[in-house]
Amino acid sequence: MGAVVSRLVPTGVRLGVFDKLADGPLTADEVADALELNRHGTTVLLEGLTGCRADTPHLPHLYPD
């Protein structure tokens, strides 16, 4: 699991995901659109970060109601 975390967290930082979420929660699509990223890839990244417990209070709701 350490190898996965060591790739996911720096990727999130490099892409600006954590900075974008600093002001509050967003959906994966909202993060992708704001950062001009691929929506599917952003969803996969955020699911991975959530799965490895790299979450903050502001990780997005990946599956909004």
Q: What is the CB-side half-sphere exposure of residue 31 using CA atoms within 13 A? A: 30
pLDDT for residue 51 is more than 90: no
Long-range CB contact pairs, 5-14, < 8 A, 24+: 5/52, 5/54, 8/45, 8/48, 8/49, 8/52, 8/54, 9/49, 9/54, 11/45, 12/45, 12/49, 12/54
pLDDT for residue 54 is more than 60: no
**pTM summary value:** 0.75
Q: What's the average model confidence in pLDDT over 22-50? A: 94
Check residues 50 and 44 and name the one with the higher pLDDT: 44
What is the band of 63 on the pLDDT scale with cuts at 50, 70, 90?
very low
Query: Within 10 A of 39 (CB to CB), how many other CB atoms are there?
Result: 14
